[in-house]
Amino acid sequence: MIAARSHTRRALLALTLFPTLSALADWPQWRGPTRGGVSTDTTPIADHFASDDPQPLWTSDFIPSDHYGGHGSPIVAGERVFLSVVWHDRVPSEQREIDTEVMQQVNYRGTSPELTTKLEEARLNLSPRLRGAKLDAWIDEWVKTNMSEKDQLALGSWAASRFRAGATAFPLDELAKVAKRQDKPFANADALRAWMAEENLSEKLQEKLLSAIPNTIKVAKDTLVCLDLATGKELWKFEAEGKPTGRKSSSTAAVIDGRVYAVGSTHLYAVNAETGELLWKTPLPGNGPAASPLVVDDTVYVAAGVAMAFDAATGTQRWKQDSARGDTASPQWWQPESGDPVLLFTGSKDIYGLQPSTGKVLWQMPGGGQSTPVTSADWMVLYSSSGELGLAACRHQPDKAPEVAWSDFWVARRYSGSPIIHDGCVYLTCGNKHQCLDLATGTLHWSETVNSTITSPILADGKLLVFENNGSHLRIIQADPAGYQQIARLKVSGMGCTSPALSNGRLIVRQKEALACFDLRPQP
């Protein structure tokens, strides 16, 4: 058992990409070498910075993001930076398509029938004399009175924008008809016009759609980019035919034993890390998962709508578990102090414990969502959108689901960021909070209100590195239960849905149109 566990740990940490290079400073997969946000890099992080607007050491050539390249995070191995991207482009076409970008331009959000009715009645009955500060006060009161706390966070600003637009806002019942045709191309502009007339859309909305829908369609390639860590120069780029999936495709690659494993829009790929040569590919179900692959020993685990496992050397499918469904949260490995390892698979509502060799469901419990759980010995900590749990610490139990030791739920707009376990404490920097709690008891050491959502933090040199304000800034915090201490706040112009990578004190940040490298090391 000890030898097997040691071998598993070696695989998880991905100790070497190339035999001659130390990998202690690598960040070889989603959430780093331990898959828990904790860096093994011993390079110090500075306590003081000359400027809060530092210049990057380098910025890469153009790399798209969001609707055209998703939100996958960079990884680092063997002095190389890797990024998996479903790289979208537009080409001229007779077809016309209503996509997510078009729906954003017409300001549509799906809501419950009850809320839709309330919103439209209030909007249409608004007095045109209600303006400025009086209108703002009326909107604030309406939102507080008519929307749940969760809806206020998710939809409050959108509702306010519709009230401010007043009679000029497009009716929600018409927009709902448009939403049903999203991602279903029309043969040409005439077919689009015929459909709009058939649906009896208002002339104003028809004009808006005709101007918003381009005379191009999206195409996509599953892409892996490899950059030199020292310079940011491209070393190679791997491309394969893919399909447009928009920003949903946001998977982070993994590097181990000289291979890069990446999930694209249609396939799982294994690519030579030195040359970019394709080693194998295998088709995946679904439409471009956001979840990132996990490689342990000789197996690649993937959340592609369902839990799946593949041979790391050949790409041959080993098993598929149809009852464990999900493609957003990434699979996690849990090796309790006693007992066999468990593959953790997170669905939208529940979290599953699977037998790694067969995919057999060992247990199932509430705790689903978008966040990746973290583990340490007999502890599993998760951050769930489930009202039953929220942030929860669970203790391993042989042959049954873990026992929830404590949990804390609060209403937040997002439940996407993943926690960190360090020195008997749990750190979470999501849900617009920065928190430190005792792992065993859940006792709150400190909590600060900070605009941090989706992104997951890094722990290095006793410090927490976390994006805030949609990634525009990096906040550096002392990881100390004694009190909340901000060390620095640096402008890095990152993206709020991605997480950075760290290697030898250099922070790799995904920006809107590039990767950038920032030096966090103490300066002479």
| E strand intervals along 377-428 | 379-383, 391-397, 400-408, 420-422, 425-428
CB 28 within 8 A of CB 256: yes
Q: What is the pLDDT of residues 179-219, one digit of tens each?
A: 999 999 999 999 999 999 999 999 999 999 999 999 999 99
Burial class of 413 by CB neighbour count within 10 A (0 to 12, 13 to 18, 19+): middle
**pLDDT > 90 in the chain, percent:** 88
Structure token digits, residue 424: 């008997």
Mean pLDDT of the chain: 93
Structure token digits, residue 6: 């040691």
Checking if the pLDDT of 17 tops 60, the result is no
Helix (H, G, I), strand (E, B) or coil at 3: helix
Burial class of 226 by CB neighbour count within 10 A (0 to 12, 13 to 18, 19+): buried
Look at residue 23 in the predicted model and tell me its pLDDT.
Answer: 63
CB 431 within 8 A of CB 410: yes
Look at residue 21 in the predicted model and tell me its pLDDT.
Answer: 36
Q: Which residue is listed with tokens 């402008």?
A: 491
Checking if the pLDDT of 424 tops 50, the result is yes
Helix (H, G, I), strand (E, B) or coil at 179: helix
How far apart CA 401 and CA 350 sit, in angstroms, is 12
**pLDDT > 70 in the chain, percent:** 95
How far apart CA 54 and CA 359 sit, in angstroms, is 47
How far apart CA 427 and CA 437 sit, in angstroms, is 7
How far apart CA 22 and CA 15 sit, in angstroms, is 8
Q: Span 291-311, mean pLDDT?
A: 98
- Looking at the domain that runs over 2-89+219-519, which CATH code has it been given? 2.130.10.10
User: What are the contacts of 212-215 at 24+ separation with CB within 8 A?
Assistant: 212/102, 212/105, 212/106, 213/96, 213/97, 213/98, 213/102, 214/90, 215/92, 215/93, 215/96, 215/189
User: What are the contacts of 518-522 at 24+ separation with CB within 8 A?
Assistant: 518/54, 518/56, 518/57, 518/474, 518/490, 518/492, 519/54, 519/57, 520/45, 520/46, 520/465, 520/476, 521/43, 521/44, 521/45, 521/46, 522/44, 522/46, 522/47
* Strands 254-256 and 216-228, bridge-based pairing: unpaired
Q: Span 278-285, mean pLDDT?
A: 98
Start-to-end CA span in the chain (Å): 48
Q: Give pTM, 2 decimals.
A: 0.92
Q: Span 491-513, mean pLDDT?
A: 97
Q: How far is CA 299 from CA 100, 134, 356, 433, 497, in A?
A: 35, 61, 9, 36, 28
Beta carbons within 10 angstroms of residue 175's beta carbon: 19
How far apart CA 502 and CA 484 sit, in angstroms, is 22
Longest dimension (CA), the chain: 76
Half-sphere exposure of 181 (CA within 13 A, CB side): 18
Look at residue 16 in the predicted model and tell me its pLDDT.
Answer: 33
Q: What is the CA radius of gyration of the chain?
A: 24
Q: What is the dihedral of CA 264, 265, 266, 267, to 10 degrees?
A: 10
Q: What residues does CATH 2.130.10.10 cover in the chain? A: 2-89+219-519
Checking if the pLDDT of 20 tops 60, the result is no
Q: What is the pLDDT of residues 31-84, one digit of tens each?
A: 999 999 999 999 999 999 999 999 999 999 999 999 999 999 999 998 999 999
Q: Span 5-32, mean pLDDT?
A: 56
Q: What is the pLDDT of residues 228-273, one digit of tens each?
A: 999 999 999 999 999 999 999 999 999 999 999 999 999 999 999 9
